[in-house]
Amino acid sequence: MKRLVLWWVFGLAAYAPGNDVARDRVDALINESGAEVSIAFRTLDGEQELLIEPDRVYHAASTMKVPVMIELFRQAREKTIAIEEPLEITNSFSSIIDGSPYELSVGDDSDADVYARLGKTMTLRELCEAMITVSSNLATNLLIEKLGVENIRRTVTVLGGNGMSVLRGVEDTKAFESGKSNTTTAGALLVLLERIARGEAVSAEASREMVEILARQQFNDAIPAGVPDEVRVAHKTGSITRIHHDAAIVEASSPYVLVVLVRGIDDRGESAALMANISSALYEASQP
């Protein structure tokens, strides 16, 4: 127990079981791909682990939606909001650079349903569902505006997810051009998902609800594609140009968290196949 406590306080380096699961096979897959790849893998019992460049910084893409979800449940528990309360659906946001307004384009988003509700309302829970399961950017920006980006960052810090930096909503072009983007590391996502998997993110009940939402993720060509169909995977994907990530709780007989961050592959199908092969290697090596 003492080793676990030290790990939460001091970070990934303080807790190392010394069991590099499937290291040679995973290294070969990474080398063959020619991409930059970071991996953070650990079984929930702490007995098996593989960390490859866990502190390398990447554009977070849609993985930053995980801390937004956690903050939603935290504020609901604190009763500063009600998770079933309605929120008006609008499409006007302020750039963090100069406060100038910008809108999101339905053509650049992954889901049109929230846009169809413009001028109407959706509950915060419904927006969270859209944000995670179909990665709606409009739902994400509405929730960030409601929750407050400073609150999201504070909760990430409290949970020990240093390396995940949420600066802004999605599609803030002026911020992007100024080099201000949401970033993450594989290690940070590992910590956040372990907290959820162990029932330590907000509360045991909230953590269970978050697992169920993550399990309804509709983009399943990466980590889930590398495990048997009967194994449930609760996860969040993220992708932009030459960036493709997946961060998952894998509910195998020996459950684990796996985060794979990829940079440098143009074809999304190739990056998905790489992540699926890494997922397969770690599943096969870690299960009894």
pLDDT the model gives residue 107: 87
Taking 90 as the threshold, does the pLDDT of residue 11 lie above it?
no
| pLDDT value of position 6 | 31
Residue 186 placed within a domain? yes
- Please indicate whether residue 164 or residue 111 has the higher confidence score (pLDDT): 164
**% of the chain residues with pLDDT over 90:** 91
Distance, CA of 165 to CA of 214 (rounded, Å): 20
Q: Does 192 reside within a domain?
A: yes
Q: Rounded to whole angstroms, how far apart are CA atoms 146 and 144?
A: 5
pLDDT digits (tens, 9 = 90+) for 157-170: 999 999 999 999 99
Question: Is 126 among the domain residues?
Answer: yes
What value does the mean pLDDT of the chain take?
93
In a domain, 8, yes or no: no
Distance between CA atoms of residues 226 and 274, nearest Å: 10
Residue 115 belongs to a domain: yes
Residue 79 belongs to some domain of the structure: yes
**What does the block give as tokens for 42?**
């650990």
So what's the pLDDT on residue 165?
97
Q: Please report whether residue 1 resides in a domain.
A: no
- The answer to whether residues 22 and 203 touch, using CB atoms and an 8 Å cutoff, is no
| Amino acid 64: pLDDT | 98
Long-range CB contacts (within 8 A, 24+) of 73-80: 73/201, 73/202, 73/203, 73/206, 73/209, 73/210, 74/155, 74/202, 74/206, 75/147, 75/151, 76/124, 76/206, 77/202, 77/203, 77/206
Q: What is the domain-level CATH number for residue 87? A: 3.40.710.10
Query: For residues 7 and 272, which has the higher predicted lDDT (pLDDT)?
Result: 272
Confidence of residue 263 (pLDDT cuts 50, 70, 90): very high
Instruction: Note down the domain range covering 258.
Output: 18-286
Instruction: Kindly report which listed range (17-21, 50-54, 131-135, 149-153) carries the lowest average pLDDT score.
Output: 17-21
Summarize pLDDT for 38-81 with one digit per residue, the tens: 999 999 999 999 999 999 999 999 999 999 999 999 999 999 99
In the predicted model, is pLDDT for residue 281 greater than 90?
yes
C-alpha–C-alpha distance, residues 44 and 1, integer Å: 13
Per-residue DSSP letter, 226: G
Cα–Cα distance for residue pair 147/156, rounded to 1 Å: 13
| Rounded (10°) CA dihedral 233, 223, 247, 239 | -130
**In the predicted structure, residue 224 carries a pLDDT above the cut 80:** yes
The pLDDT assigned to 111 comes to 87
Query: What value does the mean pLDDT take over residues 124-136?
Result: 98
pTM: 0.92
Instruction: Quickly count helices (H) and strands (E) in the chain.
Output: 10, 11
At which residue do the structure tokens 């999101």 appear? 104
Is 3 part of a structural domain of the chain?
no
pLDDT at 19: 65
Cα–chain center distance at 132: 9
Domain count, the chain: 1
Question: In the predicted model, is pLDDT for residue 151 greater than 70?
Answer: yes
pLDDT of 183 above 70: yes
**What burial class does residue 41 get, using C-beta atoms within 10 Å of its C-beta: 0-12 exposed, 13-18 middle, 19+ buried?**
buried
